Structure 1
Amino acid sequence: MLTPVDPGPAVVACNTCRYSKEARDDADGVRGGARLVAALHRVKASDPRYAGVAVQEMACLFACQDYCTIHLRAPDKVGYVLGRFDGNDDDARAIMDYAVHYAASEHGRVPFSLWPEAVKGHFITRTPPPGFVAE
């Protein structure tokens, strides 16, 4: 049931997410999660700044009402679940830009002034790393 992956900084994208609140698939019959995973891989490959953040995928993050969700995680850092994305390259770029700042942060806190506009309003939860609680 669990597949080992690199434990470093990662954007884990739900590859089965709905396309929107109203529709499971886009006009081409592609799920929103699959669109977002493809966009994340394209954007990551387009810029060496993203080399330190893995793009990983898994089926269902159980955030179905928030569709197109990702979990941002790294060792000993607060993790975040974000959702309600369109699954396009602009969303993927904003996620990866935020992830670069996140990976460079001490505990996973990124100053609001560094947040890309396209991630604002998309945060669903934050999760403490094992053995810690967040202040």
Structure 2
Amino acid sequence: MTTWITICDTCKRENWAESGAEITDGELFAARIEEAASAIPHIKTRRTSCLMGCTRSCNVAIQATGKLAYTLGEFAPDTESAEGVVAYAALHAQSETGQVPYRTWPQAVKGHFVTRHPPLPTEE
């Protein structure tokens, strides 16, 4: 089953405007996540404009049909963080429920969880 990493590409960290950067922190983070995920089976990425976590940028959502979903934020848009997000998503993909034991979490995602959502019901 595919686990999706949805990356906010409009995120701008504090002092972004003063940094002189030509692209947003979210665009930079998205590119790094996409690169890290490119060869990982069952992981797909997509970009979106705004996950509404502006005070916690850079933000991502980890989701799969029928599994717990997570929002994570307050990342630096660096390679280490991107690789940590992808490593966590790979564990999520391997989990039947989407729950990943804390002891197996990559260090780069610890302290970055914002929300957890139960899967949508399969019946109305």
Asked if TM exceeds 0.5, the reply is yes
Query: CA shift at 1:79, angstroms?
Result: 0.3
**What residue number does 1:35 align with?**
28
1:79 to 57, 60, 69: 69
The AA in structure 1 aligned to 2:105 is: W
Query: Which aligned segments of 4 or more residues in structure 1 are displaced greater than 6 angstroms?
Result: none
Report what 1:12 is aligned to.
6
Task: Give the drift of 1:23.
Answer: 2.9
1:114 lines up with 2:104 in the alignment: yes
CA change 1:101–1:22 in 2 (3 A) is same
Question: Does the residue aligned with 1:56 lie in a helix, a strand or coil?
Answer: strand
The secondary structure found in structure 2 opposite 1:57 is: strand
- Paired with 2:103 and 2:46, the residues of 1 have a C-alpha distance of 27
For residues 79-129 of structure 1, give each alpha carbon's deviation from its aligned partner in whole angstroms, at most 9, with x where no partner exists. Answer: 000000111111110000000000110111101111000100000000111
1:10-42 CA distances to partner (integer Å, 9 max, x unpaired)? Answer: 000001011x23435754232111011110112
Equivalent residues in 2 for 1:27-66, closer than 5 Å:
27-45=20-38, 48=39, 50-66=40-56
1:25, 1:32 within 8 Å by CA — same for their partners in 2?
A: no
Separation in 2 of the partners of 1:99 and 1:66? 19
Q: How many residues align?
A: 122
* 8 Å contact from structure 1 (residues 72, 80) kept in 2: yes
What 5-or-longer segments of structure 2 have no aligned partner? Answer: none
In angstroms, what is the RMSD of aligned CA positions? 1.8
- 5+ long unaligned stretches in structure 1: 1-6
After superposition, what is the alpha-carbon deviation per residue over 1:42-61, rounded to whole angstroms, capped at 9, x for unaligned?
2123xx3x121001111000
For residue 11 of structure 2, what is the amino acid of its counterpart? C
Distance in 2 separating the partners of 1:88 and 1:14:
15
